Amino acid sequence: LDQFFTPDFADKLKSGTSIQPVTKDIVTICYMSIKSYSAIEQALSAQQMSSFLDRLYKILDDQCKQQGLFRVATVGSTFMFASNMLEEQPYHLIRACKFAMAATEAVASLLLDPSDSSLGSPCLRTG
């Protein structure tokens, strides 16, 4: 639960406490997706694809923690994150941009399949 929700929200879920909606005046929400996802999916076996996605999303999760960002959701080839959610972040848009740049750089060295470097590395799109 702690990986998917804010600490307060996870604690309430664990204890069975009623959860009230949370509102924020301003947040920055961004999406990152894997470019050419369908082609990658066709080139890799199911096991290779699962391993690749695990390694990729671990990198993105680690980058979120470093920047103090909240991972909103991961669906297929899309990773959604938000700044100014876990704590007040006066420069939350800058944090989101730094995350996108750092994540793109970190993922550039990630091989689709560590046993076959000829398959190359993924490319991310951010919006």
pLDDT tens digits along 70-125: 888 888 889 999 999 888 888 989 989 999 999 999 999 999 999 999 999 999 99
The closest alpha carbon to 52, from 64, 34, 67, belongs to 34
User: DSSP strand E in 1-127: where?
Assistant: 28-34, 70-75, 78-83, 124-126
pLDDT, tens digit, for every residue of 15-71? 888 877 778 889 999 999 999 999 999 999 999 999 999 999 999 999 888 888 988
68 Cβ partners below 8 Å, 6+ apart?
Answer: 83, 86, 87, 89, 95
For 75, the token pair is 């669906």
Res 6 pLDDT > 90: no
| pLDDT attached to residue 4 | 63
Residue 41: its H or E element: helix 37-43
